Structure 1
Amino acid sequence: MNTEKSTAEQLATVTWDAIVIGTGMGGGTLGHELARLGRRVLFLEKGNADLDPPPGAIIGDYAEQTFDLARLTDAEHADHLTRAGRSAWWYEDTTPGRKPKLFQPITGSGLGGSSALYGMVTERLFPEDFTPRANFADVGDSTVPDSWPVKYDEMVPWYQRAERLYRVRGTADPMRPDDDTDALLPPGPVTARNAKLADYLSERGMHPYSLHVACEYRPECKACESYLCAAGCKNHAGNVCVTPAVREMGATLLDRTMAVRLESTRTRVTGVVARRDGQTHTFRGRVVVVAASALLTPVLLLNSRSNDWPNGLANDHDQVGRNLMRHFMDVYVFRSRVKDRARGQTKELSVNDFYLVDGDKFGTLQSMGHVPPYAVLMNHSRGSRRLLGPMRPLARLGWQPVMQDRFIVLAAIMEDLPYADNRILPGRGDGKQGPLLELQYTVSAEDRARHQRFHRRVRSTLGRYTGSLLPPIHLSGIDMNDALGHQCGTCRFGDDPRTSVLNPDNLAWGLDNLYVVDTSMMPSSGGINPSLTIAANALRVGHVIHDSL
């Protein structure tokens, strides 16, 4: 079966070996592995997921470059985001003590999910990340566990397989001398601006290396982040896993299909109830794998209440939706010492000297790429449009040649700790009429103090790199609850059903056939991009499921 010839009605008559909800890094990778092993797999994807870009798709640039928010209706705005592979649903920040706020984060909706938009950074966690609680002097009332239910050494072979599958390129990190790099492909050529920056960091006693990136480095590469790649450079779950699984391995993909509820007995999921083109269908599989994201997976489980599961599926101990993490991502912008006007790939460097230092656990500092176009900043919200809109004519003349071509952008990613009250709850609508979900996230005093220490170290290291009296421009993301690029932790795996949703094999406690493999399974966020860890774990769980079938 395939998407072109099969209807939802036909697919609902089949009992699948595995139904995989979501085609991102977790679902796409796991579904590909099961299909490769000969299992009958059905992918359900909420967004448009044509295997080839359809006419009208917005690729190769930010969606905001194609419209002026002030001139669009809400429906037209949603259409532009959808054609750019982005979710157009509304969420609501209802954090206690803050004014409620509706927002639309940059998350994926389509083939590959959010991995189709990601910046291609595919790094392993550190071994210390698998024993997280010991890395922090003060955890307050955080629920961070002593250890993950799997060890780093157990994950190494799966990391290697994921690196090969996604054709990850880069060089060895000097801060991890014991890590193998056999699976890494050579990095692309370094731009003059980043070569100069690497020299400067080395002179300051740092240890820069080539960032691990799932990229083909084609000549027309644009370092795409937050938009769909037009050059075929980006290796994401859609083109690496889902497309070959459907075209070569017998898997089936049904897009524009939103799972709304899971039917179950006390011990098994018996059906996936989904909406497609205004119709409701129930799909059945021997195994159901949820990989809808750390935002939507808990909503699906909490909306799957029944007499057997009155608090929501897999939620006997009120853990579903809790322990939300999102990383604190700060941006440092400064003028390059080299006037190379690099328009191509600039996501090239990383330094992990801040990861663990003097008893403090911080995170990574890495290339972010270009300064976003002015239109992206202006259309972030209607408030931004009112503030920045009058500067549009000036921006058209100077933003690209000055800001985008002459400035370097580094991202500092810091680990945030899990707290029970930071959570996701079902919203009061469907994302179009009313918010699809509610998010509650408060930064703890301990995390805020650690963030300040991290910022002081980064600022001191970068110093006056530009040679001017001004330090780099610092844009802090610690209080931006709508910055959800690395959301994780809302259905954590662990050894104790009282404090986790999933067992060490990512099987929901109390259920025989429900697995979760997206970032919601992470019990701590680590201080680095989660994509490779999710892919590696999906490969591991894929073999667990294959053996169980």
Structure 2
Amino acid sequence: MSLDSGARHDLEQGLATLSSVFDPTTCDDATLDAQLAAVQDDPWFTRLAKWAAEAIYANPGNGGNPDAISWVEIGYEHGLPEGADGPVNATVGGHPKPDFSKRYDVIVVGAGAGGGVVASQLALGGRQVLLIERGQWLTYENSGNRDHLRNHRNPVYGHNTGPTPDDGTRVVVAQDGSEHQVAPHTVAYGNNAACVGSGTLIYGGQAWRFHPDDFRMASRYGVPTGSSLVDWPIGYADLEPWYSRAEHLIGVSGPTRRLPHEPFRSAALPMPPMPRYETASLLEAAAMKLRLATTQPPLLVNSVSHDGRRACIECGSCVGFACPVDGKNGTQNTLIPMAMATGNLHLATETVVDHVETSSVGHVTGVRLIWEDELGARQNISARADMVVLAAGAIESARLLLLSANEFELSGLGNNTDQVGRHLQGHTYSTAYGLFEQTVYARKGPGVTIATTDYVHDVQGVIGGAMLADDFVMLPIIFWDLALPPDMPRWGRAPHEFMRNHFRHVTQVKGPVHEVPSPDCRVALDPSIKDKWGRPVAKLSGIVHPETMRTADAILSKAKEWLNEAGALQVWGDVPPPRLSSYQHQAGTCRMGTHPENSVTDQHGRVWGHDNLYVADASVHPTNGAFNPVLTIMALALRCADHLLRQSR
């Protein structure tokens, strides 16, 4: 791996320290451990120890772990078909550009969970649709399918989805007011996958419906001081038909009956649940003692062959990676190809929307596009349409509205009341680990097999709660980084013995806490830093509301209680420190509401003040639920598409 200047300096300092501190004739383990303990917090040593662990436990293609010997020792099996092992293939064949001179009925920006659904449904409904995606059309073969250090779940030195490293940084404002530029692959960037399908290419695919009370948080709990907690303008009953349609159109496996938190459902899931493993039976028995109702998490994964695609092969590297057999269901392998087959959906990849264009009276007329041709020359053109739908993710959709200011809306489209970009949310995760005497951790994926929704609400003394579940199958290097006991050093013999002896004896329980939104958590434009296209980059600021942290602490105690009841020998875990949490499940920056004074769109995603500009991603979520939100994004997008089809008859 290449070293940046800081890493090189640390290593040089470390080599000099090694020669002065360590006695090569020393062979006593206690003395060696004492010498290492004396420097364990030095930057050069922590970096060196991290590299050593990556060499041992990451995939062999990264230059260590010959013949995957460490995986054999700890009991990890990747379970993938034979293929190349190594870094991401950065070069993907370009997708031909459609005819930009043609006038379209609708332009959709972003080909992810929201945009892919809206664009496909409009095209299937007979409309001529131009779908714009800034990333590539990736597959398992060309998306770094085996790299454990460059994937969306563990982006240590890069990722497998885009945006590209030269796309531009973002600026993150720390709690002390200092500003830091962060690269696209880093967690702080809040990176949504930039490719056809976006996160649906590499997600784990937990397909939860929100709890009915998730739609009425302010009515149930009141509005905490300093927060912007509100009710949704719609409820569970309004969205239920669209939840059902999303489950069947895209493909969800799971329980045959409704889940415990659902008041009703109009149809059963189209596929049976995935197999369960050791952790599920252990936690189920403990849940019975705690009088917790449990269920199996619904997944956008084929438990059986479905719609011409194979069933999941239960490999050991699911979330963060494209599926090797196309058994994980996203917009890139379901609705988008189906709609393109009609000839009505026209996809432009590696194309950036620079600006939403408006007429002299402020009416939206289309978008301005920029891209680089095969020779690297920059091209730009205006694409025209009767309707524009933004679905680029909560950060980029808000940024695009802000970039599209005109003489009528000087602060950005839909932003005359300063709501665009505010109320940025994600999910703060409470995670507990338990060490057991018996084997509890399965070699096979996807890995999330049991959950309770009893703590989504009704947790005494706090606002909201979280669904709690075991987690997806964990890569060994992620286990090293996150799941070792906190008092264990990351050097020396002890952690490696723990990995060999206990890798399959540790399981986890975690949950996405329903965050209390704050108007100070926001996306703005940086006045001085620009991306490769010359556009101001997004500036992210704010930290989660204190009530969110109180809820996260309460949920962590519930997770630990569950593991203790299951017989764990040792339990540990923590809540991340207060921070802006939009890196996971970002939402809220263009929230829907009943009035432009406190929202950006109406209940269908139409931007206030514009009859032909819509938003159809998690930006519109007033609150983000206590569950993974992707099924809600898809259901809302289906509802939006139906509204647009009825409006344009």
Instruction: Report how far residue 448 of structure 1 moved.
Output: 2.4
For the structure 1 residues 347 and 489, does the alpha-carbon distance in structure 2 shift closer, same or farther, using more than 3 Å as the test? same
Moved more, 409-418 or 179-188: 179-188
Matched, 1:205 2:305: no
Counterpart pick for 2:234 among 146, 150, 155 = 150
Contact 2:124 2:339 in 1 (8 A): yes
Deviations 1:443-500 (A, max 9, x none): 32333223323323332333263442x2x22142353536612110000111101111
1:116 paired residue number: 201
CA contact (8 A) 1:47 1:256 kept: yes
**Cα distance in structure 1, aligned partners of 2:216 and 2:546:** 22
Counterparts of 2:151 and 2:549 in 1: how far apart (Å)? 34
**1:43-442 correspondence to structure 2 within 5 Å:** 43-50=131-138, 56-64=142-150, 81=159, 83-85=160-162, 88=165, 89-103=168-182, 104-105=186-187, 106-136=191-221, 139-145=224-230, 147-171=231-255, 172-176=258-262, 178-180=264-266, 182-217=268-303, 218-222=312-316, 224-265=318-359, 266-277=361-372, 278-336=378-436, 338-339=438-439, 342-345=442-445, 346-357=447-458, 358=460, 360=462, 361-374=464-477, 391=491, 405-427=504-526, 428-431=528-531, 436-442=537-543
Q: Residue 334 of structure 2: SS of its match in structure 1?
A: helix
Whole-Å separation in 2 of the counterparts to 1:366 and 1:430: 41
1:512 maps onto 2:611 in alignment: yes
- Cα distance, 1:219 vs. partner? 2.6
Distance in 2 between the 1:272 and 1:519 partners? Answer: 21
- CA distance in 2: counterparts of 1:543 and 1:338, whole angstroms: 51
Q: When the two structures are superposed, what TM-score results if normalisation uses the length of structure 2?
A: 0.74
The secondary structure found in structure 2 opposite 1:207 is coil
Rate the CA distance shift 1:180–1:363 in 2: closer, same or farther, 3 A: farther
Distance 1:392 1:194 in 2: 33
Moved more, 362-371 or 93-102: 93-102
Q: Deviations over 1:93-135 (max 9, x none)?
A: 2145254333323430111112222220111111112212023
Return the offset for 1:434. 10
Change (3 A) 1:24 1:309: same
- Mapped to 2, the partners of 1:399 and 1:431 lie a distance apart of 44
Greater shift after overlay, 516-525 or 170-179?
170-179
Matched positions, count: 522
Instruction: Between the two structures, name the one with larger relative contact order (CA 8 Å, sep ≥ 6).
Output: 1
Change (3 A) 1:234 1:429: farther
What fraction of aligned residue pairs are identical, expressed as a percent? Answer: 24
Moved more, 12-21 or 473-482: 473-482
Deviations 1:504-543 (A, max 9, x none): 2211111121110110001111111111111001011101
Q: Shift of the alpha carbon at 1:53?
A: 5.3
Change (3 A) 1:378 1:459: closer
Deviation at 1:259, TM superposition (A): 1.0
Which structure 1 residue ranges, 5 or more long, are not aligned? 71-76, 380-387
Partner of 1:21: 109
Q: SS of the counterpart of 2:547? A: helix
CA distance in 1, matches of 2:545, 2:521: 10
* CA distance in 2 between partners of 1:100 and 1:525 (Å): 27
**Residue identity in the other structure for 2:217:** P
Separation in 2, partners of 1:11, 1:208: 52
Q: Is the CA contact (8 Å cut-off) linking 2:521 and 2:580 kept in structure 1?
A: no
Residues in 2 aligned to 1:522 and 1:189: alpha-carbon distance in whole angstroms: 32
Counterpart residue identity of residue 357, structure 2: E
Distance 1:142 1:221, change over 3 A: same
Q: Is the Cα–Cα contact under 8 Å of residues 201 and 330 in structure 2 kept in the other structure?
A: yes
CA contact (8 A) 1:493 1:502 kept: yes
1:59 and 1:483, CA in 2 relative to 1: closer, same or farther beyond 3 A?
Answer: farther
Task: Provide closer, same or farther for how the CA distance between residues 201 and 256 of structure 1 changes in structure 2, counting only shifts above 3 A.
Answer: same
1:445 maps onto 2:546 in alignment:
yes
Q: 1:483 to 1:504 in 2, by over 3 A?
A: closer
CA distance in 2, matches of 1:100, 1:325: 20
Q: Letter of the 1:44 partner, please give it.
A: I
Shift of 1:4: 9.3
In structure 2, relative to structure 1, the CA distance for the partners of 1:410 and 1:99 (3 Å cut) is farther
Max Rg structure: 2
User: How much does 1:372 deviate?
Assistant: 3.9
The C-alpha deviation readout for 1:59-111, integer Å capped at 9, x for no partner, is 25545379x999xxxxxx5xx53x44566453222145254333323430111
**TM-superposition CA deviations, 1:350-399 (whole Å, max 9, x none):** 111111114642111122213344269779xxxxxxxx99859998x668
Q: 1:250 to 1:331 in 2, by over 3 A?
A: same
Q: Given the alignment of the two structures, is residue 537 of structure 1 paired with residue 633 of structure 2, yes or no?
A: no
The two structures have a TM-score, normalised by structure 1, of: 0.86
Aligned residue identity for 2:293: H
Say which SS state the counterpart of residue 592 (structure 2) adopts.
coil
Report the residue type matching 2:452 in the other structure: V
Structure 1 residues 221 and 39: alpha-carbon distance in aligned structure 2, compared to 1, 3 A threshold: farther
Counterpart CA distance in 2 for 1:376 and 1:238 is: 30
Aligned CA distance change for structure 1 residues 11 and 260 (closer, same or farther; 3 Å) = same
Separation in 1 of the partners of 2:392 and 2:357? 17
Q: Distance in 2 between matches of 1:473 and 1:131?
A: 33
